[in-house]
Every structure is written in C-alpha cells, then in structure tokens.
Amino acid sequence: MFRLDAGLKVYLHRDAVAGHTRKKRGRKPLDPALPREVVRHELPESERVCPHDGSVLVEMGVETSEQLDIILQQVRVIQHQRVKYACPCCDQGVKVTPVSMVIQNSSCPLLGDQ
C-alpha cells in the first residue's frame, strides 16, 4: 500500500487478469451461395525463371481476393487468384503475380465517385 499526498490510498494487486481473444480483422467473407467467376492472373512464361539460378519456377499456390460485383439486379463475386511461383531448386526464387490495376481501383458502384 502506498500513501499519496492527497491522502488517497493505492493498493497494488498482483492478481492475474483474465485473457481475451481479439476479434478477427477484415471484412466478413462474402456469401458462399453467390455465383462466382474466377479470374486467374498468371505471370508470363518469360518471367517464370529464378533470378538466382535460372531454374523454371513451379506453381506453389494462389493468393485469392474477392470483389463484389453488382450488375443491374444481379449480384456475383469475382474471385481474383494471383498465382505464386517458386524455384524447385532454391528458396529464393519466389514470385507472385502482381495486383492488376482493376483490383486496386475497384470500388462499390453504388457509392459513386468519392
């Protein structure tokens, strides 16, 4: 117990405080029942080469992002898949297809220009 100038008493407790879990960041997933159109973004063949040893890169997965597309009384989800490539010989030759300008500049058409 400490005594402050104003005569207030402060008690220090060393009891454990119950932990908590943080809420998941980001938006909620889009409804899985909505129809989906998959747009696959791939690197050109000329760029699928490891810059360190010249080996041909192999596909190792995709990064998926979804964009809600509303068309006059029709709603669908456009799923953008950016292919990831890796060198089978070394761990330094990883490349991901860059984000296209369409994905970067997309906004909700209902909101208008803001």
pLDDT of 110 above 60: no
pTM confidence score: 0.48
Q: What is the pairing mode between strands 36-41 and 74-86?
A: parallel
pLDDT of 22 above 60: yes
Structure tokens at 47: 């760029």
Contacts of 84 (CB under 8 A, 6+ apart): 59, 60, 61, 62, 63, 94, 95, 96, 97
Give residue for tokens 């063949």. 45
